């Protein structure tokens, strides 16, 4: 019999630290893990597909969902709204671990409702490395990269409220550390 509990894992950290990369690899490597798909009002980037990276909705649709208590949490970033759909997550959690890739305010809000949620902060080896990664990813203009860089200190300042901090320097080592944490948490009663 498998007594391991399904866990709700929140992965946060500054934009460009590697959350998306790590989340994608975690679900590829772990059959029992589902990635939650957030709603956002931002435009899809090249290659992003509605219902895969995000549910792309407009501001009116987002507001209706807020009014109907449809989000576990939501927040505004860079002039767009992002939210975690409540029903989607609670249904997935019945049969699998669920991974949320959301900002620190969202993570702390989730913890208020789900005391057992496991909050993991991803930190960069250095601030300059974040800039390098965002430039290399080339999905944002320099102005937008600078905006994201301004938020790094804020995100990392909340690390002490998170359960774990993992530095994403070597990608494989970071993924293995996150897996180790999740396995440890799954075995807790």
For the beta carbon of residue 29, count every other beta carbon within 10 angstroms. Answer: 11
Would you state the structure tokens that stand for residue 37, as one six-digit string? 């798909």
Q: Tokens 């990392």 correspond to what residue?
A: 156
Q: Which span sits near ligand ADP by CB under 6 A: 18-26, 36-44, 55-63, 77-85?
A: 18-26
Smallest separation, CB 90 to ligand ADP (Å): 24
For the beta carbon of residue 131, count every other beta carbon within 10 angstroms. Answer: 18
Q: Tokens 């799954």 correspond to what residue?
A: 186
Q: Which span sits near ligand ADP by CB under 6 A: 11-19, 49-57, 74-82, 152-160?
A: 11-19
Q: Which is nearer to ligand 5GP, 157 or 187 (CB)?
A: 157
Smallest separation, CB 121 to ligand ADP (Å): 11
Interface of this chain with ligand ADP, residues 120 to 179, rule: CB under 6 A = 133, 136-137, 168, 171
79 in the Ramachandran plot: left (φ > 0), alpha (ψ -120 to 50) or beta? left
Q: Which is nearer to ligand ADP, 31 or 136 (CB)?
A: 136
Q: Say whether 84 sits in a helix, a strand or coil.
A: strand
Q: Which span sits near ligand ADP by CB under 6 A: 8-16, 82-90, 113-121, 149-157?
A: 8-16
């Amino acid at each position: 019999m498998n007594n391991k509990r399904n866990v709700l894992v929140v992965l946060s950290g500054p934009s460009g630290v590697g959350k998306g990369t790590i989340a994608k690899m975690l679900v590829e490597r772990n059959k029992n893990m589902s990635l939650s798909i957030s709603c956002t009002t931002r435009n899809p980037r090249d290659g992003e597909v509605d219902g895969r990276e995000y549910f792309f909705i407009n501001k009116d649709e987002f507001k209706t969902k807020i009014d109907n208590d449809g989000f576990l949490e939501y927040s505004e970033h860079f002039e767009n709204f992002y939210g975690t759909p409540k029903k989607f997550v609670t249904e997935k959690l019945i049969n699998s671990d669920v991974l949320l890739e959301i900002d620190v305010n969202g993570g702390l809000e989730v913890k208020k409702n789900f005391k057992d949620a496991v909050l993991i902060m991803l930190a960069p080896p250095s601030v300059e490395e974040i800039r390098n990664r965002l430039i290399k990813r080339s999905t944002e203009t320099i102005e937008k990269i600078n905006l994201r860089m301004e938020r790094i200190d804020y995100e990392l300042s909340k690390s002490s409220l998170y359960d774990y901090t993992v530095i994403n320097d070597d990608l494989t080592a970071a993924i293995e550390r996150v897996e180790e944490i999740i396995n440890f948490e799954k075995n807790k009663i």
